Amino acid sequence: MNVILESLGDPIWQIGGGIIMLAVLVLILALRSPEVHLSPRHQWLWTRFVLLVGLSLFLVLSAGVVLFHGASAASTGVPAVTQPSSATASPHGGSSPSSTSIPSLTPLPSPSPSSTPFPRLVPSPAQVLTTFCDAIDRHDLNTAWEQYAKALQKERTALPPPSTRITIVHCRVDQVSDMSATGFLLLKTIGPYGYTDDYERPFQFTLSVEAGVWKITQIARCLADGCLPDTTSVVP
């Protein structure tokens, strides 16, 4: 019923139907005009032909308008399936994510039997990352930098330029394990030239054994389609 009412109120149907009826009326009057020399039989035949053509055009127009509104009503009646939004842009590329939800991360791999056993050291990878997070939140930069490998600790004296530097200002443990050399932390950062939006974003930390101790050797920014290494830009 709504489709019919919408069709009746459609300007295309109203104007088109009016033009068709006006054209039919003008042609009938013209056929019956004394200036048109037609026999009564021919006038009768042409009048009915014009009426038939006009009626056909009107029905085609009406059917098209009704079908159009019916299709529109059907498309709007089906609820759209929304995909969970995720931040697909760089954490400090000028656009912020549409929600505060963190994209789902791949669970940490379970240790598999191998010829080389996983190093069981104290502190473990999970403890190192937890210590790093706690130090960030306490603004204890010395302890935070101590969790880095020696090669990365040299960056403290030669920080990245402001155009690429991403400074960690808050840290929260997300996925860590004592039996995995990788872990995920949720970081709030200040981007190049001081840009910040106060969002937590996932970063993947990779550790390796250095002088018998687990140390952070790589940091990667995690987007919707994977994690991209960005070790030299991300600093405490």
How far is Cα 92 from Cα 98, in angstroms, rounded to an integer? 14
Q: What angle do CA 132, 138, 139 make, to 5 degrees?
A: 85
With H, G, I as helix, E, B as strand and everything else as coil, classify residue 207.
strand
Burial label for 235, CB within 10 Å (0-12, 13-18, 19+), is buried
Note the pLDDT of residue 103.
Answer: 53
pTM exceeds cut of 0.85: no
- Residue 166's DSSP bridge partners are 234
List, for residues 96-146, the tens digit of each pLDDT value.
554 445 555 555 555 555 567 888 888 899 999 999 999 999 999 999 999
Low-confidence ranges of the chain (pLDDT < 70): 1-3, 6-7, 73-115
As its CATH architecture, domain 125-235 has Roll (3.10)
The residues spanned by each domain of the chain are: 2-77, 125-235
- Please name the residues in contact with 220: beta carbons below 8 A apart, sequence gap of 6 or more: 203, 204, 206, 227, 228, 229, 230, 231
Note the pLDDT of residue 40.
Answer: 78
